[in-house]
Amino acid sequence: MNITRRAFTGYTLAAVSSLAVGATPALAATRKGSLSGRKGYKVSGTVKVKKEGGKTKVVLADNYKFDPTKNPPDIKIGFGNGEKYAKGSKIHNKLTVKKGAATFEVPSSIDTDKYSQLYIYCEKFTVILAVANLK
């Protein structure tokens, strides 16, 4: 069977294009939601859970606001389902950002795909302060 250079180039480009298209979803995926306060806390803003380049990050958007009238002692970000925090899902030691954009890397030991919600919570008193349903 003889293949011309032009045909070979066309086949090669088609194969590379189909591989690239098929690989893209696995390399980058984003779920997002809107924060809603709980237990009398006023929390709002958009949150994203982004998978990119082998890492997962939680991104608080510019419109993120945590209730300025409250100051719980031990604020964390974590994951769970059905408004039940999943033990071992916290992503950092203390959330100090109360307004505006921020990005946090999720430890590789946490599989965020297992969770439908992101929480801002007080670890010391085991209280969920805000929830975002991730879609």
Using one digit for the tens of pLDDT, what is the confidence trace for 107-117? 999 999 999 99
Rounded Cα gap, residues 121 and 62, in angstroms: 20
Using one digit for the tens of pLDDT, what is the confidence trace for 67-84? 999 999 999 999 999 999
Provide the token pair at 4: 């011309």
Global pTM reads: 0.77
